[in-house]
Amino acid sequence: MKLSADGALLHRQLYVLLKEQIVSGRYRPGDALPTQEALCRQFSISRITVRRALSDLADDGFVRNRQGVGAFVTAKTIDTKHGPDFGFIGDLRRTIKETTMRILALEVERCPRPIAAHLGIADGEQALHLVRVRSFENKPVTLLDGWIPMPFARAVTEAGLKTTSLHELIAGSFEKLGGVAQEVNAALADPFVARALDIEINSATLKIDRLVHNRDGAPVHYVTVWTTPRRTRLVMEVSADDIDGYNVGRLLHDVQK
């Protein structure tokens, strides 16, 4: 297997691969990772690339590097189950409780045409533009770039955001939120995204475009979320009734003939 020289930096690709093998249980706490020489041969990469990946894993607490011996998986575990309150609203509540927020922008601006179409507002109409970074244990984990139609944005202020969640301000309460549609893509971090998430330019990211409705079916928030696989995973739970339905998600293929 070879890592691609296109897109994300090679050491970041190796980091993501090894992290996934640790998280999935292929390597357990106390296990030794393959030696640097073995990783170099397996992926046809340089020793410095391997060292950078292992250093990043150590910085994030997944391995402990022992000089002259190797890299060993630590006892760090990742909780992949959060109990029965695991849906969009439950996830919002947990995120608010566990993270801190920093506002980068809060301005009324002309809404970009594609986003205006999703929000059901006229081309050129203004909307509230809110850009935020959420951090977990002092590390940035998500960059959120959102647009809110003005009728739903009146209560969204910097002071309000310090004490109340955005969606409670928009809809009045979590219970008044309706359907959520989202699209997930892989993307490379541009300079703004890289700076906000404290990652390198062109690092691999997950890019999530999400449209939130209220109970009446009106679109109330369009947000683009960037996050880094170094610190974040996308987890979904689907009820048995939806396993064979479109609610579980659709793969759309943009392939030119």
| pLDDT tens profile 127-143 | 999 999 999 888 999 99
Across the chain, the runs of DSSP E, i.e. the strands, are 63-66, 70-73, 100-110, 126-136, 139-149, 177-188, 204-214, 219-227
pLDDT confidence tier of residue 85, bands split at 50, 70 and 90: very low
pLDDT tens sequence across 187-225: 999 999 999 999 988 888 999 999 999 999 999 999 999
The pLDDT value recorded for residue 7 is 46
pLDDT confidence tier of residue 73, bands split at 50, 70 and 90: very high
Helices and strands in the chain: count of H runs, count of E runs: 8, 8
pLDDT confidence tier of residue 245, bands split at 50, 70 and 90: low
Higher-scoring residue by pLDDT: 170, 253: 170
* Residue 162 burial (CB count, 10 A): 9
Mean pLDDT rounded to a whole number for the chain? 84
First to last CA, the chain: 29
Does position 101 have pLDDT exceeding 70, yes or no?
yes
The pLDDT value recorded for residue 82 is 45
Does position 162 have pLDDT exceeding 70, yes or no?
yes
pLDDT confidence tier of residue 249, bands split at 50, 70 and 90: low
